Structure 1
Amino acid sequence: PADVVRAFAQAGVKVGSTRRWELESVDHPAVKPLIEYKKLYRIWVAHGWSWLQDWVRDGRFRPEFLAGGTVTGRWVTNGGGGLQIPKVIRRAVVADPGWRLVVADADQMEPRVLAAISRDPGLMEVAGRETDLYQSVSDRAFSGDRAHAKLAVLGAVYGQTSGDGLKNLATLRRRFPRAVAYVDDAARAGEEGRLVRTWLGRTCPPAAGA
């Protein structure tokens, strides 16, 4: 990244980093291929040859799935990133002859749940549409960039504070204040050692005597 920043400086373009949100504000022909390269590089690092050697055997991807593996009850995988396979990699998954893959997806579940429990009017209105929720959020807050909106919403729900997390959170807070405040309150309670309880009754940390 430092070399890229220097290269931009030599071209008369001042950037402080190679983060996507900063590059997108730059009018230079190198920006688009650089952003695409960064995207593909992340895929290669996470799901490249080493991933293939470690987690794919005999034509099967073999992560260890753990149901209820977190205190909130979410599924997790032990290795291989089985719940976060990029779309470009998913295309390599095919059914054996005579079999068919059935794909089910809880459509944009996290922001819809957040809208319901926070009662944020703006997010409830977006979640109630018969349209793509992330696209609607992007139209309101991220200049139509759906991928950016999705990362921002999921980052807010799951507590991302690194990278562009704080900047995205500030944008969401302006558009959906009650939703972000709900997440902030839960995070603050946890940081202060207080009991955080989900709507299904799970607590973090476990309640005394549990």
Structure 2
Amino acid sequence: MEEMFSRFDDLRKLIVKLYNNKNVRRWTIEIVVCIVVGLLAGCFSYNALHKKDKKLTVSEENAVAQEEVVETTDTAESTESSEEAVEDNSVITVVDPGEYVDTIKDWSSDEISAAISERSQYLTDNKYWPTVASYWETARGVTGDACYCTYLFNTDTTVYTTADFENVPAEVIHIAKNEIYARHGYSFRDSEIMNYFMGQVWYSPSVMPSDFSEDVFTETEVKNLDMLNSIDTM
């Protein structure tokens, strides 16, 4: 114990000696001042950085909010554009003259109009025409001259199935079957069918029933005839 007290006493004397030294006191004061200044500077720096982080966070949140607004606006504009596109698609289109039957595709509009006017008498009170005309417009979106200048179905190039004629009116199916004959110039005995095709600008009766041969039909036409015969109820 005495030894420990002796060491404390020596330490006290050293501190007193150092304190009485002017240079030591000056250095001590300078060190304390530096420490205090450093602490204050650290506090100010921390506060400044903390405020900056808050500003950055707020700016980022604002940026995200602005992006969401832009995305919402773009989505709304896209939806409006889509709705406009749907509305545009609902407009009935007219078949381009380039899609007319080959025998008349090079005719002028005046020639086609004159032929339609001349043949219109055949469609007056025809029992097939109202249903077929309605089918052209509602199912195909075709109106105007194209109804008189275009084949009802591509039975010479496409093999159809019964599924293709689901919900198709019986009159249209009956005409589709006979159209295969009409393409080859068949002259019909049935006056209603004959008048219907006489109302079509492309139709040119050239073969009497007694002279007609089904050998003129292609393999595709034969398949379509068999299928249409199976569903024709008229």
Which structure would you say has the larger RCO, counting Cα contacts within 8 Å and 6 or more residues apart? 2
Q: Tell me the TM-score normalised to structure 2 length.
A: 0.22
**Structure richer in strand, relative to its length:** 1
Q: TM-score, normalised by structure 1?
A: 0.24
Which of the pair has more CA radius of gyration?
A: 2
